[in-house]
Structure 1
């Protein structure tokens, strides 16, 4: 099964296969979302850390290595590489959106200069690469990324990052609403569980984006 037939939801179960994807490096950007140190740290208890073990293993063994390869491939081809990370500007987090102030998993207090707010070392941005800071799920609505993409003449955006069912999905929907062509790289993304990951990809595929594998993506470049 390839990207044209994978992740079909009820809505697209009987739809025709989509057209081939062609990406012009000069009008394409790679957006790496929220792959930050905080998400690789152990939880408060051994039991909770163990509950998250599958996520940690996917990140270390699949998502981070594949995203590193993707970043280098995009750099080599002249594709603009952009990073988004969750980070507040005020130490007490007063500038955060409501969703990041509520109790629970999504509560985040990540001052922008703190080590746990930084992109993981394996994916460290280069000096001339854009990093946008956000206190929202969507990297588009919570930053000036929309203006940046417009000013650089970007038409298509490749998306990698976490969490598939939260910030990745919100960003993809925002990009689609702005009429960008969006490609989500399955094996460069993760949710807390594989069930959540697969279900969200099924939901957004063919409506807001096309979901592909890393190896498939390389054949799309002109």
Structure 2
């Protein structure tokens, strides 16, 4: 086991938060599940990371019960489950120690949101010397309003505003920013194909 799959923030908090219907891929858990099955089959470590904001009273407050892996996914015994309070999965957890103890230098990352916690984790991992594969279609995000957009916009107003950055644009920009600098970009199908070829 010299590789790890890092599943970032694929948690019920996002379904509860609102605007779930604008997510680039509401079936994100299905694609992540494919990666999890692939990792387990190959004997790779699966690490689950959840975002928590204790005491906030919001959907990321563990006291409310939403800071848990999405119901479609099930961590297995022995798979680490970490809670982070920063945007990346390293700064406020023992992830680096956990990987170092196991001699892991190759990471595959996926999760929510593409340009936020998944991208930030990828950049930090790259700076720490890990070889990272960013599985672009196993990440998801929401449209982002312009910085000058009024607070409290409805979903319809957000989507109608020409200044809004679409989820597809965000994912595309993230892919361009990471490729060849911080990570190798791949799709779930490509990784399944690579593994199938290697097994032949």
TM-score (norm 2): 0.79
> Cα deviations across residues 25-70 of structure 1 (Å, max 9, x unaligned)?
x200000000110112362xxxxx4xx5231x6122xx21111111
Match of 1:161 among 72, 95, 111: 111
Distance of 1:152 and 1:131 partners within structure 2: 16
| Residue aligned with 2:60, SS | coil
Task: State whether residues 164 and 201 of structure 1, in contact with CA within 8 Å, keep that contact through their aligned partners in structure 2.
Answer: no
What does residue 212 of structure 1 align with?
A: 186
Distance of 2:64 and 2:79 partners within structure 1: 20
Distance of 1:113 and 1:161 partners within structure 2: 22
CA pair 203-112 structure 1, distance change in 2 beyond 3 A: same
Post-superposition offset of 1:127 = 2.5
CA RMSD for the aligned pairs? 1.9
| Residue aligned with 1:128, SS | coil
Task: State whether residues 32 and 110 of structure 2, in contact with CA within 8 Å, keep that contact through their aligned partners in structure 1.
Answer: yes
Post-superposition offset of 1:146 = 0.7
What does residue 53 of structure 1 align with?
A: 21
Segments of 5+ residues of structure 2 without an aligned counterpart are 143-166
The number of residues matched between the two structures is 172
Task: State whether residues 17 and 59 of structure 2, in contact with CA within 8 Å, keep that contact through their aligned partners in structure 1.
Answer: no
Task: State whether residues 85 and 118 of structure 1, in contact with CA within 8 Å, keep that contact through their aligned partners in structure 2.
Answer: yes
Task: State whether residues 164 and 190 of structure 1, in contact with CA within 8 Å, keep that contact through their aligned partners in structure 2.
Answer: yes
Segments of 5+ residues of structure 1 without an aligned counterpart are 1-25, 44-48, 94-106
Task: State whether residues 59 and 67 of structure 2, in contact with CA within 8 Å, keep that contact through their aligned partners in structure 1.
Answer: no
Instruction: Spell out the pairing of 1:73-92 with structure 2 (5 A cutoff).
Output: 73-88=38-53, 90=54, 92=55
1:65 is the counterpart of 2:30: yes
What does residue 130 of structure 1 align with?
A: 80
TM-score (norm 1): 0.72
Post-superposition offset of 1:217 = 1.3
What does residue 29 of structure 1 align with?
A: 4
Post-superposition offset of 1:114 = 3.5
Task: State whether residues 13 and 59 of structure 2, in contact with CA within 8 Å, keep that contact through their aligned partners in structure 1.
Answer: no
1:145 is the counterpart of 2:95: yes
Distance of 1:76 and 1:113 partners within structure 2: 34
